[in-house]
Amino acid sequence: MRGRLWLQGVFWILVYLLMTTTPLLILLIGPVPPGREFWRELSVALGFGGLAMMALQFVLTARFKVIKAPYGSDVIYHFHRQISLVAFVLILVHPLLLFINAPDTLRLLNLFAAPWRARAGVVAVLLLAALIVASLWRKAFRIEYTRWRIWHGLLAIAVVSLAMAHIVLAAHYVNTPWKRVLWAGYGLFWIGLLVWIRLIKPMLLLRRPYAVDQVIQERGDAWTLVVKPVGHAGMSFMPGQFAWLTAWKSPFADTEHPFSFSSSASQSESVAFTIKELGDFTRTIKDLQPGQVVYLDGPFGAFSVDRHPHAQSYVFVAGGIGITPMMSMLRTLADRGDRRTLLLIYANNTWEDVAFREEIDSLRQRLDLRVVHVLRDPPEGWQGEQGFVSKDLLARHLPPERSRDAFEVFICGPKPMMDAVETALVELGVHLGDFHSERFDLV
């Protein structure tokens, strides 16, 4: 499985490279309009390249399972963020080079007097800058996540539409029929993606509703939401994966949130998510009523023991609500009667915050599971580990064997904990391919 996924990973990178470079390569061949000065041509080429990269962002975020499978969703979203910054720099250089090369073009910034091609270009760059600033500093600006997501989508559509209009109105490099066909094809492909994301996907979700079955209070301000499929077979998932949940609104409203499954993958009649109260949406989970309709898009993610079936044992490192995907994996392994050696290192602030602690205790009867609780603020007389999940703590508890496939480590929790654990694992000689993290807090 590992080799096949690796090949898929390389394949999609090559497809991405091809799609990003094709518009520029095609401009380079065939009949081209008379050349102009170097800096102006460089500026134009950077504009075309940046736009090709921007338009492909819609592919990255369209949640095509086949594309996400080799990397995992968090890596795709991280790449989406980084490549957007790179594309933004290229796009920004496009007008800057023009202004430096021919200062009289600065008059194009005057939206009242400038021709429409310039207006479209200037507004596209301004909106792109707003989009990027809002994404990088969403929390600093206190923009609520759902509102940010809606505006992110709308601004992205506006930016690419205006940039396309800018190219068509400038009409310099789309002067031959086949180049017009190419760019029309690019535009159609992009519109098709939008139709898929905004219309077809929500319609498909609407036809596969779920009903709330139970909402159960857990320790640590968390709630387990159990939902059942209505009129369809539900979804099968790998333990550790996640789905996007839409509650209170229609899938067309684009107000979904990602949550890991906490239920066993072996039980298909219902699925459960355990959600901590952390924001506006998560605080409404407890108010969901039995019978209320919700929608699920998934499963997604590469964070699963099922992706590493040949491991001799598994180690889970969870911090707080990061226990959710681990619970799914532990419950599934128990349902399957798996007898491999398991270690759960579970960090919390206090003993009262330890979600699922009774169930984890009872799972030890069904699994070869050792549990190490780590408390930052332990109760009096606490004999176990305390503080944070440090390198020393990991060294004390990890299996001594370090060969490939000896054990696979799964890490989920607050960002500082995950960073520290990953660094410690590398220092302890754990192979890079043998530990896996799930990160949701990307924006």
Partner 1 sequence: MKVRQRISTWLAILIGLLILALALLFALMQSAWLPLS
Which residues are within 8 A (CB) of 311 and not within 5 positions of it... i.e. 6 or more apart? 305, 340, 405, 406, 407, 408
| 11 touches partner 1 (CB under 8 A) | no
Report CA Rg, the chain.
25
Q: Which one of 8, 20, 268, 284 is in contact with partner 1 (CB under 8 A)? A: 20
| 85 touches partner 1 (CB under 8 A) | yes
| 92 touches partner 1 (CB under 8 A) | no
Of the listed pieces 19-27, 110-118, 309-317, 367-375, which binds partner 1 according to CB under 8 A?
A: 19-27
Q: Quick one: CA dihedral 267, 270, 274, 275, positive or negative?
A: positive
Tokens of 79: 């790449």
| 25 touches partner 1 (CB under 8 A) | yes
| 413 touches partner 1 (CB under 8 A) | no
Strand-pair category, 385-386 with 222-229? unpaired
Closest distance between partner 1 and the C-beta of residue 16, in Å?
8
Q: Which one of 37, 280, 368, 392 is in contact with partner 1 (CB under 8 A)? A: 37
Tokens 């580990």, residue? 385
Closest distance between partner 1 and the C-beta of residue 36, in Å?
7
- Do 273 and 264 touch, CB atoms closer than 8 A? no
Q: Which one of 12, 27, 320, 347 is in contact with partner 1 (CB under 8 A)? A: 27
| 432 touches partner 1 (CB under 8 A) | yes
Give 373 or 436: the residue with its C-beta nearer to partner 1: 436
Give 19 or 206: the residue with its C-beta nearer to partner 1: 19
Sequence-separated contacts (24+) of 195-199 with Cβ below 8 Å: 196/62, 197/58, 197/61, 197/62, 198/153, 198/252, 198/254
| 441 touches partner 1 (CB under 8 A) | no
- Do 166 and 124 touch, CB atoms closer than 8 A? yes
What is the x/- site pattern for partner 1, positions 41-80, by CB under 8 A?
Answer: xx--xx-xxx-xx-----------------xx-xx--xx-
What's the rounded Cα separation, in Å, for the pair 200 and 189? 15
Q: Which one of 1, 7, 86, 395 is in contact with partner 1 (CB under 8 A)? A: 86
Q: Which one of 5, 59, 83, 169 is in contact with partner 1 (CB under 8 A)? A: 83
